[in-house]
Amino acid sequence: RMDGPRSDVGRWRGGPLQPSATPSPEPEPEPEPDRGSRSRGGRGRSFWARCCGCCSCRNAADDDWGREPSGSRDRGSSSRGGRPDSRGGGVNAAGDGTIREGMLVVTGVDLLSSRSDQNRREHHTDEFEYEELIVRRGQPFHLVLFLSRPYESSDRIALELQIGNNPEVGKGTHVIIPVGKGNSGGWKAQVTKASGQTLNLRVHSPASAIIGKFQFTVRTRTEAGEFQLPFDPRNEIYILFNPWCPEDIVYVDHEDWRQEYVLNESGRIYYGTEAQIGERTWNYGQFDHGVLDACLYILDRRGMPYGGRGDPVSVSRVISAMVNSLDDNGVLIGNWSGDYSRGTNPSAWVGSVEILLSYLRTGYSVPYGQCWVFAGVTTTVLRCLGLATRTVTNFNSAHDTDTSLTMDIYFDENMKPLEHLNRDSVWNFHVWNDCWMKRPDLPSGFDGWQVVDATPQETSSGIFCCGPCSVESVKNGLVYMKYDTPFIFAEVNSDKVYWQRQDDGSFKIVYVEEKAIGTLIVTKAVRSHMREDITHIYKHPEGSDAERKAVEMAAAHGSKPNVYDSRDSAEDVAMQVEAQDAVMGQDLTVSVVLTNRSSSRRTVKLHLYLSVTFYTGVTGSIFKESKKEVVLAAGSSDSVVMPVAYKEYRPHLVDQGAMLLNVSGHVKESGQVLAKQHTFRVRTPDLSLTLLGAAVVGQECEVQIVFRNPLPITLTNVVFRLEGSGLQRPKILNVGDIGGNETVTLRQTFVPVRPGPRQLIASDSPQLSQVHGVIQVDVAPASGGRGFLHAGGDSYSGETIPMTSRGEA
């Protein structure tokens, strides 16, 4: 951890909530402020003098509101989940506490916060499983005040919102809104209807408002005196970013994009290799009960100043730092060791909800995550806060460790890899996020999609965070643009440079592979379960003048600016590597196809080295190799085949079931050097889910899960995970042992709590990675209307599920 002052927006010292070395078991409560000392924003002037110029001339006797009664800011949860009594409740007079005749007393407030009310529907927050008011900034909302007498034109009313430990008007954390007048911060409140002792108001927040959970109260002033409604936790208001508001810098001008990237609660995450793409459904669950509080708690735990929480650039950068646990005891502990005995195998997670609720409940980082888990949780958090966000997979993603902006691979004199020198790595795939916003901190032309990467790989300004980085700057090699553009550029568009050790111990470039990095960049398509290729927004077409210009411009700013000066150009023998598509437990073959594009005979000495690899590019020892000499007639092709039996690769397999084939060769006649790395994987089976009967809100429904063990060995202590937003809170099912090649069937019940199309997702762990299944469940409303059920509570765990059947395949 850096001890000096920080200048980047990813960290702050001296913020309102600095975490301790050991996380606190619960979110830290905010201390009660001293209402009697609340003069710092107004230099001793009264509330009305500060908020309303016409009220500044008053008698000295009326000059102060006095101290807020004890307990009026109680943040307890006694009435969470219900609407406040519209006409009852305690009242509080300023000063001596006496209610005098003629005073305007607010006897109750209705924030119209129910999920079926106008506010929640108009603000696209009706899916949140909360009863509090949740609105988006830059858009009006409505509320009703219940008064002790009819409202008169001479009455003065002000609404007040506060957030943070020490709310200040100048920082936007203490908002005072005189009814009928605007304030300097862009807030407005107007009377829309006055009927008897009821007053209807329309409140408008600025498009730059701070996001978070605000406390709300009402103050009144008449000739008879002043009154303040006590703070009530039932009247807290959540304010979010607003991609529907053209004035908000997170505005998205496509309704289908907003439906997909803000409101969709599930998505697809892609993994594997470019030639063998796997996909899994992820339950983002951004509207599940408790998730919004968890997202705001993340900002609190980092100590982010409340006054900066209206800036999506700052918020997204903090989230990229806090979703991983390094530096700051953030949400997830990364683990790529293969040993997950002290936590959850990253492949077993099927969604973000259980992870975020555990962090909120305990304050401790959750074990364990890898890139797709970090990205899935980041999508949940940013969508929950109102930022249009998508999960992106980059195949053949480079990890540049020396800022050369090239991937450097070193070989000995015989072209055998020198793994102790290969610090750079190429991940089979890497998953990060795009979020949409304007970038007022950059020159024009860099608005739109911004990369945010929460996987801890390299530090940024001394801390493990990455982004937001304009995709446009990545595309054009403008690596001097903030934030972290050099690292992201290298991930998608660097060249792979092969260095061979010479007789004198020096290294020489023998081959540059220009199309090996960022070969395919994908995300889930809008309003579809199909895959969308978005490579073109990250890079110009491979080999085009614009793409080569971007690469060379970026490399010129790297640590090896002259790397391209010593390239050899004789390349008349082409090489292609192919791997058979195989399921875990089967034998497979890999082949190398050589093509002689010259008009003369060519003799190629070929070396093949096969090892297992983690998806991060870290390789194990070589477990099989082959050497061949191939003679190619002019214009002809030939192939070299390497068979690989299950018994050969089984003892060496690691997570993801991936293997790396290093191929190198030397052309005798021309001196051409051939080099290529090819990654492939053995697939794992899917879980089969079948819905048994119709799904209706509030009624029990049953799903059947079928799984076949593809291996000839027993899988022990098998655990299934089951969840789906609006359907099933995260649930752990202990299945037990499954014999070799055995098929098991089990049934599980759930009770839907929200209507509409939903995704129910299941996964299997711990001995097979990436085993999962999904089914779409169309939930009908409960009889009598649309209806929601309360879905509070934590996940189930440790339930042992009896099998309905077992059998050999």
At 558 the pLDDT is 60
At 495 the pLDDT is 81
Domains of the chain: 106-240 (2.60.40.10), 255-556 (3.90.260.10), 573-683 (2.60.40.10), 688-779 (2.60.40.10)
Which is catalytic among the residues 295, 371, 469, 701? 371
CA angle 33, 34, 39 (to 5 degrees): 110
Q: Which residue has the tokens 């991060």?
A: 616
Provide the residue count of the chain. 809
- Contact 293/359 with Cβ under 8 angstroms? no
Catalytic, 430? Answer yes
195 beta partners: 198
Q: What does the buried/exposed string (b/e) look like for 75-107 if buried means 16 or more CB atoms within 10 Å of the residue's CB? A: eeeeeeeebbeeeebebbbbeeeeeeeebbbbb
- Write the pLDDT tens digit of every residue in 177-196: 999 887 777 899 999 999 99
Which is catalytic among the residues 293, 327, 453, 655? 453
Annotated binding site for Ca(2+): 493, 495, 542, 547
The DSSP element (H or E) to which 377 belongs, if any, is: helix 371-385
Distances (CA, A) of 618 to 50, 180, 425, 661: 62, 64, 7, 13
184 CB neighbour count, 10 Å cutoff: 9
At 35 the pLDDT is 33
Q: What is the DSSP letter of 493?
A: H
- Contact 211/134 with Cβ under 8 angstroms? no
Q: Which residues 6+ apart lie within 8 Å of 524 measured at CB?
A: 260, 267, 268, 390, 391, 530, 531, 532
Q: Is 554 in a helix, a strand, or coil?
A: helix
- Write the pLDDT tens digit of every residue in 737-792: 999 889 999 999 999 999 999 999 888 766 677 788 999 999 999 886 556 666 55
CA angle 469, 475, 481 (to 5 degrees): 40
Q: Which residues of the chain have pLDDT under 70?
A: 1-97, 400-405, 459-463, 555-570, 765-767, 784-809
Q: Is 771 in a helix, a strand, or coil?
A: strand
d(CA 655, CA 337): 9
Catalytic, 371? Answer yes
At 630 the pLDDT is 94
At 465 the pLDDT is 81
- Contact 478/399 with Cβ under 8 angstroms? no
pTM: 0.81
